[in-house]
Structure 1
Amino acid sequence: MAADKGRNNVTNPNAGTALLRGAALTGLAITEALQLLWISLCVCLTVVGIGVPLLPRAINGARSLTALQRRLARQWTGVTAEEEYLPLPDRPGFVGDLHRAWTMLGDRSTWRDLRWLLVNPFVGPVLGFLPVVAIVEGLWGLTLPFIWEIAEKDWGWDDIWFAFIPVNSQTTAWLAAGLGLVEIFVGVILARVLQRVHGRWAGAMLDGRSRAELARRVQHLAVTRSDAVSHQAAEIKRIERDLHDGAQARLVSMGMTLAAVETLLQKDPEQALAMVTDAKNSSATALRELRDLVRGIHPPVLADRGLVDAVRALAMSLPLRVEVTADVPGRVTPPVESAVYFVVSELLNNVIKHAHATHASVDMRYVDGKLRVTVHDNGVGGTDPERGTGLKGIERRLLPFDGVVTVFSPAGGTTDVAVEVPTEIVTAD
């Protein structure tokens, strides 16, 4: 997609510019062939040690040439080809050169560049210089009606051929001129077409984003999986602690109370009735704690009415005026709903605790396949994601969904926290 956008922004060059670019690409291909020969010589010289300090510099030269090819492909044809190299050690001296050479030769990107230096000197001149050859030959054909007799009589040319046409009369000379005109026209068209072909060829050969992006994706998934497992373990421990210290303790106490009531029911009915009343109060308290625990796991209003109404209900329960606006055409996936709800809840709690604000707002929108939520407050500002664990916890909560958190909070000003999570609408309004 990025390459397509780039192509839309590249202007179509005129014939002269396209021919000059083709000649430049041909010269660059010849330079690459010479650079490959130099690298091969440096590899051979490493056997006697002389090539060890030369090889990293030679490979850097190859990287500079392929970087120039990528830049020209992007500027001239809009094709984006990117590459990432392994970091090189900074150790000085012979040992450092040896380590750098070893690191470079162990880098996949180096071998991609060397493959380009091996193949492009054969392909590049064909794509870059073929239009020039066609135009030059076409110009030669245009001159034949005027010089063929001179060439035959005065210059001693016995057999004059233009492509498949034997030029031995004025008629065949004019046929050659017509064919030459066609070659010039074809060469002008080819100059533009083959330039685009060369850009796509460079993009296909030199673009290392697929492997680099795959490696980053694997690393990202490993981090998010670890965070998700840690977050889930922490939630399970919290639920266990709340159940053990709250509802479970009350239910055990209620069971002991009812057991005591059985023994007192005949002897002291009044005390037994008082204990039944205590047990009833304990059951109500335990039920309320269980409801609070369930609400902390997944609020019923979120399950019943969706994210927008759940956030509105949350805003009404806060001791702060919170305005909620939304433009979401339906319900997003349940895991994203739950994560974003608790993110908004934590952000609003942070506003109440730390911002000294008198007003806050929550704006929710679904744009281009992403749910975007912005929480704004008119507090004192100065929120720093690097200090404290609140915003870091929010980022970790959203990492499994590839969510992004952006904070704008200048000291003494208002605070805006924007959350963006890729998701899809599963139930339309």
Structure 2
Amino acid sequence: MAASSRLPAAIRAPFAGRTWREFGYLVIGLPLSCVYFSLSIALVAAGAGLLVTFLGIPVLAGALALCRGFGAVERARARGLLGLDVAPPEPARGRTGGALSWMGATLKSGASWRHLLYALLHMPWAIFAFTVSVAFWMYGWAMFTYPLWQWVFPMYAGQDGIQLYGDRTHAFYLDSPFEIAVTSAVGLLFVLVGPWIIRALTSVDRLMVSGLLGPSRLANRVTELESDRGVVVDTAAADLRRIERDLHDGAQARLVALAMDLGLAKEKLAEDPKAAARMVDEAHGEVKTALQELRDLARGIHPAVLTDRGLDAALSAVASRCAVPVSVDVDLPSRPVPAIEGIAYFTVSELLQNVSKHAEARRAWVDVWRVGDRLLLQVRDDGRGGAETAAGRGLAGLTERLDAVDGILAVDSPAGGPTTITAELPWRA
């Protein structure tokens, strides 16, 4: 470990790269904000004044487009100096793709007006942040290094001490070691506190950049819903392929073989009744097997016990088929809507299958309860742990399916166990 990493954070802060990057951000922000403010005010005022003619709209749209360009510069500056990565807002696109359509989309875009608001609000804040940070930071370092001045600037030091200001007639001196030490101590205090003041000032800039120059909450929500819709469509398609494969390889194949056996039995019925009876008996066994496969497939689509008796009975049935003893505790005041109930059932079913296949556990526990407007499911086991939601794992697909309905999957599975997996779903009665 480096020696600098063993120093307290308060002592490392004045020399940390983050402090100097944030200080540079505040210093550069003042001239840039003056440019943003001046151009924005000038162009918006010109556009508003020209609205009585046909030139007002293109000038105003151009001003908003320029503010969007300012926003791109600010996002890049925040990313490089503050480590704040803000996604660009949704672009202003017209329906027809022409210039008039683009101008209309730009003027109607909330993101464009937020960029203009940033250009107007940032200048007064940049003036304040620049003044406070530069004055506090520079004066702190100047006072802290005051004892060095008599060597760096010997013309200001004499027998009366170090001259602070004034001429030969009216001057103020630090004429004792005590005064120099106090000044240096106060400067050290400023130096140690300065990084935290700079950090507090840049936190306001972070809020302004992320709040005004990024995508709107509505746009983020639309993006999330589009992604969730894609997951739902992919999951539904995968389920349909699974059902088709199970029918083709299972019940359908057995029914085809059954039809062939019954046809052969029919042909032998007259000439060899005993062989025909034997073949009919075998076909009867195949019918029972095919019916069981169809029941299992129907249970995989939506079990009847879930529809008829709810989660408690359905999860108890799943637990009885698990390879390890499972305790089930369902405490719900009422039943959620069938869609949420079905997701909860299949979530617990998949988690218990993982317990049976991978956990090497001796026992497992399933708890279901409601908190406010959320349905919580928890599956615990005393197995070897190591469950992950990484891509390519079964839990990753389960996480995506829960995300599609605003659900959450939390996994606590250290190596050596135990494993606790909690799923949270919206409650919709």
TM-score, length of structure 1 as denominator length = 0.55
Mark the CA change 1:212 to 1:322 in structure 2 (over 3 Å): closer, same or farther: same
Mark the CA change 1:379 to 1:323 in structure 2 (over 3 Å): closer, same or farther: same
Q: 1:21 is matched with which residue?
A: none
Residues 369 and 377 in structure 2, CA contact (< 8 A), matched pair in contact too: yes
Q: 2:419 is matched with which residue?
A: 415
Mark the CA change 1:255 to 1:378 in structure 2 (over 3 Å): closer, same or farther: same
> Matches of 1:243 and 1:366 in 2, distance apart?
37
Residues 385 and 416 in structure 2, CA contact (< 8 A), matched pair in contact too: yes
Residues 380 and 414 in structure 1, CA contact (< 8 A), matched pair in contact too: yes
Unmatched segments (≥5 aa) in structure 1: 1-30, 45-51, 65-82, 88-104, 122-202
Q: 2:401 is matched with which residue?
A: 397
Residue 117 of structure 2, aligned match among 115, 118, 125:
115
Q: CA deviation at 1:278?
A: 1.3
Q: 2:374 is matched with which residue?
A: 370
Residues 39 and 59 in structure 1, CA contact (< 8 A), matched pair in contact too: no
Residues 306 and 314 in structure 2, CA contact (< 8 A), matched pair in contact too: yes
Tell whether 2:329 aligns with 1:325: yes
User: Secondary structure of the equivalent of 1:86?
Assistant: coil
The amino acid that maps onto 2:113 is W
User: Secondary structure of the equivalent of 1:331?
Assistant: coil
Over the aligned positions, Cα root-mean-square deviation in angstroms equals 4.0
> Matches of 2:41 and 2:236 in 1, distance apart?
58
Q: CA deviation at 1:313?
A: 1.8
Q: CA deviation at 1:252?
A: 1.5
Count of residue correspondences = 268
Tell whether 2:324 aligns with 1:316: no
- Within 5 Å, give how 1:223-302 maps onto structure 2: 223-302=227-306
Q: 1:340 is matched with which residue?
A: 344
Q: CA deviation at 1:35?
A: 7.2
Mark the CA change 1:42 to 1:381 in structure 2 (over 3 Å): closer, same or farther: farther
For 1:332-377, what per-residue CA distance to the aligned partner results, in whole angstroms no more than 9, with x for missing partners? 1111111111111111111222222111111111111110111111
Q: 1:198 is matched with which residue?
A: none
For 1:303-330, what per-residue CA distance to the aligned partner results, in whole angstroms no more than 9, with x for missing partners? 1111122112211222212111222111
User: Secondary structure of the equivalent of 1:258?
Assistant: helix
Residues 84 and 212 in structure 1, CA contact (< 8 A), matched pair in contact too: no
> Matches of 1:367 and 1:309 in 2, distance apart?
21
Residue 382 of structure 1, aligned match among 386, 390, 405:
386
Mark the CA change 1:57 to 1:422 in structure 2 (over 3 Å): closer, same or farther: closer
> Matches of 1:422 and 1:225 in 2, distance apart?
17
Q: CA deviation at 1:276?
A: 0.9
Residues 302 and 310 in structure 1, CA contact (< 8 A), matched pair in contact too: yes
> Matches of 1:269 and 1:258 in 2, distance apart?
13
The amino acid that maps onto 2:341 is E
Q: 2:132 is matched with which residue?
A: none
> Matches of 2:385 and 2:248 in 1, distance apart?
39
User: Secondary structure of the equivalent of 1:357?
Assistant: coil
User: Secondary structure of the equivalent of 1:401?
Assistant: coil
Mark the CA change 1:60 to 1:107 in structure 2 (over 3 Å): closer, same or farther: farther
User: Secondary structure of the equivalent of 2:305?
Assistant: helix
> Matches of 1:267 and 1:393 in 2, distance apart?
58
Q: CA deviation at 1:294?
A: 0.6
> Matches of 2:240 and 2:74 in 1, distance apart?
53
User: Secondary structure of the equivalent of 1:410?
Assistant: coil
The amino acid that maps onto 1:257 is D
Mark the CA change 1:367 to 1:287 in structure 2 (over 3 Å): closer, same or farther: same
What percentage of residue pairs aligned between the two structures are identical? Answer: 42
- Within 5 Å, give how 1:164-203 maps onto structure 2: none
Residues 398 and 404 in structure 1, CA contact (< 8 A), matched pair in contact too: yes
> Matches of 2:372 and 2:266 in 1, distance apart?
66
Q: CA deviation at 1:43?
A: 8.1
Q: CA deviation at 1:388?
A: 3.9
Mark the CA change 1:264 to 1:357 in structure 2 (over 3 Å): closer, same or farther: same
Q: 1:220 is matched with which residue?
A: 224
Residues 374 and 416 in structure 1, CA contact (< 8 A), matched pair in contact too: yes
User: Secondary structure of the equivalent of 2:425?
Assistant: strand
Residues 86 and 107 in structure 1, CA contact (< 8 A), matched pair in contact too: no
Q: 1:349 is matched with which residue?
A: 353
Q: 2:164 is matched with which residue?
A: none
The amino acid that maps onto 2:279 is M
Tell whether 2:410 aligns with 1:406: yes
The amino acid that maps onto 2:254 is R
User: Secondary structure of the equivalent of 1:332?
Assistant: coil
> Matches of 1:111 and 1:59 in 2, distance apart?
16
> Matches of 1:33 and 1:349 in 2, distance apart?
59
Mark the CA change 1:407 to 1:37 in structure 2 (over 3 Å): closer, same or farther: closer
Q: 1:86 is matched with which residue?
A: 88
The amino acid that maps onto 1:290 is L
Mark the CA change 1:390 to 1:113 in structure 2 (over 3 Å): closer, same or farther: same
Q: CA deviation at 1:399?
A: 2.4
Q: CA deviation at 1:211?
A: 6.3
Unmatched segments (≥5 aa) in structure 2: 1-30, 45-65, 79-84, 90-106, 124-206
The amino acid that maps onto 1:115 is L
Mark the CA change 1:357 to 1:269 in structure 2 (over 3 Å): closer, same or farther: same
Q: CA deviation at 1:207?
A: 6.3
Tell whether 2:363 aligns with 1:359: yes
> Matches of 2:338 and 2:72 in 1, distance apart?
55
